Amino acid sequence: MYRLLLFFTLCLQACNPFGGSVQPNDKGTILIGTRVNTPQGRMYYLGAYSAIPSQVAPQDMTLLGHNIAIYSYGEHPYIWDGTAAQLFKYEVGKDNEIVAVDSIGFERIAKSNSFGAVAFISEEEAYVFFLAEGKVIEFNPTTMKLVKQMEVDALPIEKGVMVGTNTYYAFVGNDGKILLPVGADPSTFGKFSERACVAVFDSKAKSVRYNEDRRMTIGYNNFTKDFANGDLYYRPSKYIARVQDYSPSQKDAVSGGLLRVRSDGTYDPDFFVDLQKVLDAHRIISVIAVQGKDVLVQYIEKDWKMPANPGQWFGCSTKLAMVDVEALTFKDITSLDKYGTVYPVGEVDGKAYYSNFGAEDGKYHFFEQDNTTILNTKIEAIGGSGIYIARLR
Amino acid sequence: MEITPAILQRYNSGTATDAEVEAIETWLTSTDTEAYSLDPVDLAEMKAAVWDNLLEQAIDEQRSIRSIHASRSKVIYLPLVAAMLLLLVGVVVFQKLNWTTANGSVSEGLLITSAQGPIEVLGDNFKVQFSGYLQVVNRSNQYKSIECTNGEQYTLDPGETYYLETIDGRHYLIAERHLSPEDNYLRFVKGEVEVIAKTI
């Protein structure tokens, strides 16, 4: 009988073309995204919860699709749909139902495949970046209307470099500046840039400048944050590590380092650690967490035998180590081995959260970081990996 | 065009042809059952399943919010009796067809996505000619094989997603289960593909 009543409710919603109107949720809802394995491929789901749940499952969440990126600001989730080339605004109702309420499209302004990232400054000011085309679009998130289309300096093209670049992530810094690490396109293979680069958009001057640092190569998804003090770091990327392994001419490029990025988007000249050297590693896969001088690093051991087939590289065996970047020492961490690969997915109330894939038991979790770099299991994700967590305001 | 479960599955997954989409959307708002050979109760069940799929996949249908509301508005013109019929068969739909978003429906083929969009191909063995970076999803319960025109051959596990990449003129396969979940690799798909099915 309950299922009949539930379906009756759904039918009534289906029959009401104005069913998108909901009572807004003012409880500071927790927003959680997962990527679920389905027979149709991996699909992205989004759920809203009044508190941190012990478990999340797709049947209780909203299906978003398979070509999306999740953002949130204020009381609203925002979803970039790469297939539709549109940014959708959602509302979370008082019963935690998630409903799409508006959208803004950019298909006539920029190419969908040059979409980079979205950044929110305020309830009235937000930006979408298409820096591969030299375009930045300002929109009003309250009205979801285009405010301004700006032509800016496009991503620099380095002579001889074959790996394409874009800015896939955005971090709102101080004084209206938006920092966007320039990342290598993971689907391209060839000569890559041996310079780390950050695009800095000044939302007041409406201009972009590019800051480079030659102590380290380009990467992908390069920023990581010390949640204790807000410091940003530019970290290694497994995608460049893989390309490097099959590119003899660049085998000695410094791809496994750690740089610190200041709030104005420049690199701290007094900070650089070559993690690959400290660990005597074959390659660095990723920096998972940073807290003060302690850096949790995933790496490939030096004696690993590289496969002839580059497609099999990602199945490499890895280890975790905690590196003291002041003493330049490390200790291996085995407590997280059973979870497979661990990666950051967001922040709630000042605490960093991580998720995993490739666990020994095939299960997926969200982990909460405590006051050190210890990660404690917090939420079980049914059906697939966690990819996003945040608290709506 | 007769509406069949196979056509509805393609519509739900976004791989139906233009003619199929037009036929389905006409059927969704039609109460005429004489033109179809399926039992009227079965037709009603399939119709309810499609609407629920549309409700949950509103964004994935590549339509604006306004056009979704416009599509939905047709439903309010259905007689209340028809709406109650959908309600009565609703539980049967979920149980019989198992078209829930979590489980999805299992097809028999591969879904190959290039810069031109996704195509579903039925069969067990395929030869592909392509450039760039493709996504390949084995949506069936069987192993499939794929041969690239440069000679590389790969086996695709049931239910798994892969990416076919091009390096120095050769093609390599990456299993998505080894890639970071927080990244959406579909955004990097590029190039064109021609698929030749060897056996069906």
Residues A247 and A180 in one domain: yes
Q: What is the spatial distance between Cα B163 and Cα B148, in angstroms, rounded to a whole number? A: 13
Other beta carbons within 10 angstroms of residue A389's beta carbon come to 29
Checking if the pLDDT of A60 tops 50, the result is: yes
Q: How high is the pLDDT of residue B24?
A: 65
DSSP symbol at A223: E
User: In what side-by-side order are the strands of the sheet with A223-225?
Assistant: A223-225, A232-234, A257-261, A267-274
Pairs of residues, one from chain A and one from chain B, whose beta carbons lie less than 8 Å apart: 185
Residue A274 domain-assigned? yes
Tokens of B182: 């927080």
Shared-domain flag, residues A252 and A300: yes
User: Residue A66 corresponds to which tokens in the numbers above?
Assistant: 């398979």
Cβ contact, residue pair B65, A101, below 8 Å: yes
**C-beta neighbour count of A377 within 10 angstroms:** 13
Would A1 be classed as within a structural domain? no
- A298 DSSP β-pair partners: A286, A320
How does residue B74 score in pLDDT terms, banded at 50, 70 and 90?
Answer: very low
Query: A262 with A359, same domain?
Result: no
Q: Which residues contact B66 (CB under 8 A, 6 or more apart)?
A: none
Cβ contact A113–B163 (<8 Å): no
pLDDT band at A259 (very low <50, low <70, confident <90, very high): very high
- Same-domain status, A155 and A283: yes
CB A112 within 8 A of CB A67: no
In a domain, A112, yes or no: no
Mean pLDDT of A246-269: 95
* Shared-domain flag, residues A254 and A312: yes
Secondary structure (3-state) at B195? strand
Residue of B nearest to A13 (CA): B55
CA distance A151 to A130: 10
Q: Per the domain annotation, does A212 fall within a domain?
A: yes
Q: Give the predicted TM-score (pTM) of the model.
A: 0.78
Pair (A230, A133) in one structural domain: yes
Please tell me the predicted confidence (pLDDT) of residue A17: 22
Residues A159 and A293 in one domain: yes
Closest by Cα among A129, A88, A125, A127 to A105: A88
Most confident of A202-206, B38-42, B90-94: A202-206
Contact B69 A17 (CB under 8 A): yes
Segment A213-239 shows an average pLDDT of 94
SS3 at position B157: coil
Q: Choose from A104-113, A205-214, B101-110 the range with maximum mean pLDDT.
A: A205-214
Between residues A138 and B178, which one has the greater pLDDT?
A: A138
Q: Has residue A286 been placed in a domain? A: yes
Q: In whole angstroms, what separates CA A14 from the centre of its chain?
A: 34
Rounded to 10 deg, the angle between the B80-97 and B40-56 helix axes is 80
Residues A100 and A183 grouped into a single domain: no
The band of A306, judged by pLDDT with boundaries at 50, 70 and 90, is: very high
Q: pLDDT (tens digit, 9 = 90+) per residue, B134-159?
A: 999 999 989 999 999 888 999 999 98
- What is the residue range of A269's domain? 125-138+149-334
**Once rounded to an integer, what is the mean pLDDT over residues B58-75?**
38
User: What's the mean pLDDT in A371-381?
Assistant: 85
Out of A6-15, A102-111, A328-337, B104-113, least confident range: A6-15
Residue B83 in this model has a pLDDT that exceeds 80:
no
Report the amino acid identity of residue A233: Y
pLDDT (mean) for A315-341: 94
Q: Say whether both A224 and A292 belong to one domain.
A: yes
Residues of A in contact with B179 (CB under 8 A): 314
Q: Band of the pLDDT at A206, cuts 50, 70, 90?
A: very high
Q: What is the mean pLDDT of chain A?
A: 90
Per the CB < 8 Å rule, is B184 touching A67? yes
The predicted complex's ipTM stands at 0.86
Residue A187 lies in a domain: yes
Are A67 and A159 members of one domain?
Answer: no
Report the C-alpha gap between A154 and A157 in whole angstroms.
9
Residues A296 and A383 in one domain: no
- Co-location of A307 and A218 in the same domain: yes
Q: How many domains, chain A?
A: 2
